[in-house]
Structure formats: C-alpha cells, structure tokens
Structure 1
Amino acid sequence: MNPVEALLFAVIQGVSELFPISSLGHGILIPDWLHWSLNRSHPDFLPFMVMLHLGTALALLLYFHRDWRALITGFIRARGGNSNAEARLMWRLVAGTIPAGLLGLLLEKQLRVLFSSATAVLVFLSINGLLLLWGDRKQQAANARTLDKLSLMGAIKIGSGQALALLPGISRSGVTLLSGLAHGLNHAAAARFSFLLATPIILAAGVLEIPKLAHSGHAQPWGLLLSCGLLAGACAYASTWFLMRYFKKSEIESLRPFGWYCLLLGLGGLALHWL
C-alpha cells in the first residue's frame, strides 16, 4: 500500500473494529473495490496490522482506564477471590477471554484462507445484518439487567461467540453485543462488557506478533507505521466514545441502523457482483 492507502486503511480499521459492522469484512471489501495495491502476504503487512491492533487496544485502555484500574485494584484486594464486584467482573472477563483466544489460535488461519473472497464477505456481512436486526427485535429493555447480574457461564458463552468474528463479515462487537442482550443485559452494559472483553483480545493480537517483526524484513518507514497506529487508535477512541453514549440513550432498536447497513451493503454488493 502507498501512504495514502495505509492511512485510509487505518481509519477503516479503527472505526469498524468497534462498530458492529466487521472490521475484517471492510478490510477486505474496500481495498478490493477501490483496487488498492494491498498484498496481505507481503512482509510489510504484518508490522502494519500489529501497529493498528496496538493503537486500537491503547485507545480502549485509555477510554476504560478507570474501569481497568478499579478491576485490577478490586481483584488484588480480593486476593484472587470474588469477594467484591470488581473481582467478580474481572473473573468474568478472564472466563470470556480464554475460549475466544484458544479458538482464535486454532481456527484463524483455516477460516481466513477459506473465506477471504469478497463474495464470502458479502454473504457473511448480510448474515451479520440479519443477526443484528433479529437480536434487536428480541431485546426487551424493560427486563434488561446491569453488568453485575452477568453469570460466569454467561461470560464464557459471550466470549466464545467472538470466534464467529473469524468469519469475514461477522462482527466481533456485534456478536458480543447480541450475546450480552441474550443473557439479559441492557444495551449499555452489553456494550461495556463487549469493549472490555475486546481489550485483551485486540492487545494480544498485536503483542503476539511483535516477535515476528524481527524476521519479517519489512521496508515500511517507522514514521508511517506509528502514524497509522495512532490514527487507528484515535478513530477507535472516537468510536467507543460515540457508541457508549449512543447505547445509553437508545435502548430500543439501537442495533437496527447497523443491521440495515450490513444487510444492504451485503445484498447490494452481491447483486452488483452477479450483474
């Protein structure tokens, strides 16, 4: 990618990583439609994606820094037990992160090789839209609960659902939001748990790839890589700020705009492809 394409890709990654519209799907479709010079097997692509993931994770850590400080402090105070609300939530985040991490390590390469075509992305993006519309329709705000009511098994189920996001077009944040709503959480609580759960996953995706940089032989200027990482982080921070306020104000049908967007983009893209 040239510098302009790299910066635009950073914006796409930073925004779509948190919005329930699939960052992986948009990262495949937009470069394909705009005929960008993007080669995912090129040595330069690995350090580029590492920087984008680290930038997004940093944005989440900054936005939720009070939450993480309270969670860690409460966990230490409980000495690994669950005697306070912060420690209980920390254990639920750990429980939700482990299955997603294991499934990601086992299945990521196979799924991304099988479903990396634009047609497959459009199909899964349409499915993602239908899931968002269906899940929003089923949600009953009057019966919704706050995050302290989430069970340990519920956290595991929500975390396991993140593996579906390995299918390009299925949104990680969308899956966790829907799972949270299905377990009785209100929209704001489901969004908060989704973003807290995303932080270790996205951070690990960047950190685990850092040792490979020494062997990648990349030629990208570090200034451009850092700029892309910071830009992705700034967009992710703005997306998180917007979504947390949006879900607090819009308890009913709040996922519907994203559902219609994914459905229309998926079906419209398929129609154009067939024509």
Structure 2
Amino acid sequence: MTLIQAIVIAILQGATELFPVSSLGHAVIVPALLGWAFDPHGEIFLPFLVMLHLGTAIALLVYFRNDWAAIFQGLRGRDGSQRQAESIHILALLVVATIPAVIIGGLLEHWLRALFGTARYAAIFLFLNGLLLLLTERMKSRQPVQGGYAIASLTYADAAIIGLWQCLAFLPGISRSGATIIGALFRGLNHEGAARFSFLMAQPVIIAATVREALHMRHVAIPPGQMQVATIGAMVAAVTALASTAFLMRYFHNHERWALSPFGYYCVLAGAVSFFILGH
C-alpha cells in the first residue's frame, strides 16, 4: 500500500464511519473502482485497519469528552442521587444497545462478510442504505415536528431495538451510524439526539473491534514501513473523524426536517453508479 492510498482510505474511514453512508461499503467499493490490488480483508491490511479504528475512536472520545465526563461525574454521586441515577441509566442504555452487535456479530459477521463482501454486493447494499434513509425521512415528515426526547428518557427496550438496527451494518454498504440513527428516530429521539446516541454507541463498538483486530495481529508479519504508513493513516483518520463529528452534530441540530435525505440521495446514486461500473 502506498502512502497516497493510505491517506485516501484514512480520509474515507474518518468521514464515512460517522456519516450515514457506510465506511465498510466505501472501503470495499473505492479500491475496486480505482483498481487497487491490495486485499482489504487480507492480513497485510490488518495493521492499517487497526490504526484507522484507533484514530477514529480517539477523535470520538475527544469530541464527546464532556459527555463522558458528565456521565462518570454523575456516577460518583456528588451531584445528587437523581443525577447519579440518570448517569447509571445512560451508561446501562449504551451497554444494552451494544449487546446485539456483540452476539450477532460474533455469530454471523464473518459469514455475512464472506457472503456479501464483494464490491458489487456492497454497491447493492449502499443503494438500499440510501433508500432506507429516504424512506425514514419520508415517514418522519408525516409526523408533527417534536423537540425530541432526551437520551435518558429511552428505555432498555428502546436501546435493545436500536442495537438490533446497528446489526444491519454487518452487511457491507449498510451504514452503522445511519442504521442506529434511524432506530433512535423511531424510538422518539430527534435527529440531533439520535446522532449523539449513535456516536456514543460507536465508541465502545470501535474500541472493541480495535482490540479484537489487534489480538488477531499478534502473529501477523508486518512488512517494513507498514506501521509508519498505518500511523500516518491513523492521524489522518482522527483529524477527519473529528471534523466530521463536529460538522454532523451542527448539521443535525439545524436540519431536523430532512437531515438524512442528502445522504440518502448520495447513497442511491453512488450505489447505482458503482454497481453499473463494476459490472462492466
């Protein structure tokens, strides 16, 4: 992998991990469209993937540091019992929302990615991801505009359902953030609250995936210079993810009525064009 390839993929990872357009789908489709020879599922690519996930996780932790600080400050009970109960509830919601991905991912992830891991399948699912985003906004537009509920108002059943939505992202081309935002919207949150819960959910998932990939990497022979390229990629992914998160949180705050629609149109177009090109 060249440095230019590493930077392009790092930018894709940093942006598409948070934007509801599927990082995995782009990681499969873009190299195929550009004719790059490396295998994104191969062992040589693994150290690079670990570092990209690490960079993205660090960016999310930096952006949401105040949210995590408030949660853990509340857990200590110094701000009163009500604040402590709320912090415990939010943390428990995040745990519950993560459980479906741990279970289903452990059982089916490798089978799903082996079955649907080609670029043409990713293009199909990217197209379907766009349709899902557009359909969600269409359904939401028929409902009265509401301020949305606070994350703490979610029930454990709500969190479990959002976690099940997250599992759609095991299909390359279906966005993890898009699926979880959709799930949260249908459980009563507005776009900004849904995005915040989705991004908070992403952090333990990304960190767990990074640890798992790092353990797999123990016996991988890393080519000379690969870790330097991976380190640069991690920094690029971190900066991109931080900028993407800041943009998206402002964007969802200001565009309650149709926030997902532009991403839906993009996915439909990108999926259709990619499928056409890769089929010829």
TM-score bucket (shorter structure): over 0.9
Residues 20 and 172 in structure 1, CA contact (< 8 A), matched pair in contact too: yes
**Residue-by-residue CA offset, 1:18-55 (whole Å, 9 max, x unaligned):** 00000000001110000112223543211110001111
Residues 60 and 195 in structure 1, CA contact (< 8 A), matched pair in contact too: yes
1:255 maps to which of 260, 263, 268: 260
Corresponding residue SS for 2:43: coil
Q: Which runs of 5+ in 2 are unaligned?
A: none
Corresponding residue SS for 1:89: helix
Q: Which amino acid aligns with 1:110?
A: W
**Residue-by-residue CA offset, 1:171-203 (whole Å, 9 max, x unaligned):** 000000100110110110000000000000011
**Aligned residue in 2 for 1:31:** 31
**Aligned residue in 2 for 1:116:** 117
User: Matches of 2:171 and 2:218 in 1, distance apart?
Assistant: 29
Residues 192 and 253 in structure 2, CA contact (< 8 A), matched pair in contact too: yes
Q: Which amino acid aligns with 1:215?
A: H
| Residues 33/220 of structure 1: CA separation in 2 closer, same or farther (3 Å cut) | farther
| Residues 161/66 of structure 1: CA separation in 2 closer, same or farther (3 Å cut) | same
**Aligned residue in 1 for 2:248:** 243
Q: Please tell me whether residue 217 in structure 1 is matched to residue 221 in structure 2.
A: yes
**Residue-by-residue CA offset, 1:198-227 (whole Å, 9 max, x unaligned):** 000011111122233231011152322211
Say what the alpha-carbon RMSD is for the aligned residues: 2.0
Q: Please tell me whether residue 208 in structure 1 is matched to residue 212 in structure 2.
A: yes
User: Matches of 2:272 and 2:212 in 1, distance apart?
Assistant: 36
**Aligned residue in 2 for 1:186:** 190
Residues 141 and 186 in structure 1, CA contact (< 8 A), matched pair in contact too: no
Percentage of matched positions with identical amino acids? 44
| Residues 205/141 of structure 1: CA separation in 2 closer, same or farther (3 Å cut) | farther
| Residues 220/59 of structure 1: CA separation in 2 closer, same or farther (3 Å cut) | farther
- Note the C-alpha offset of 1:267: 1.8
1:232 maps to which of 233, 237, 240: 237
Q: Please tell me whether residue 270 in structure 1 is matched to residue 275 in structure 2.
A: yes
**Residue-by-residue CA offset, 1:153-173 (whole Å, 9 max, x unaligned):** 101110121111010110000
2:154 maps to which of 150, 153, 157: 150
User: Matches of 1:226 and 1:272 in 2, distance apart?
Assistant: 32
User: Matches of 2:250 and 2:144 in 1, distance apart?
Assistant: 16
Corresponding residue SS for 2:219: coil
User: Matches of 1:166 and 1:31 in 2, distance apart?
Assistant: 19
- Note the C-alpha offset of 1:83: 4.9
User: Matches of 1:141 and 1:149 in 2, distance apart?
Assistant: 19
| Residues 219/274 of structure 1: CA separation in 2 closer, same or farther (3 Å cut) | closer
**Aligned residue in 1 for 2:99:** 98
Deviates more, 1:9-18 or 1:145-154: 145-154
TM-score by length of 1: 0.94
TM-score by length of 2: 0.92
Q: How many aligned residue pairs are there? A: 275
- Note the C-alpha offset of 1:274: 4.7
Which runs of structure 2 are paired with 1:135-174 in the superposition (5 Å)?
135-139=136-140, 140=143, 142-143=145-146, 144-174=148-178
| Residues 192/100 of structure 1: CA separation in 2 closer, same or farther (3 Å cut) | same
Residues 111 and 166 in structure 1, CA contact (< 8 A), matched pair in contact too: yes
Q: Which amino acid aligns with 1:142?
A: V
User: Matches of 1:76 and 1:34 in 2, distance apart?
Assistant: 52
**Aligned residue in 1 for 2:4:** 4
User: Matches of 2:216 and 2:231 in 1, distance apart?
Assistant: 17
Q: Please tell me whether residue 50 in structure 1 is matched to residue 50 in structure 2.
A: yes
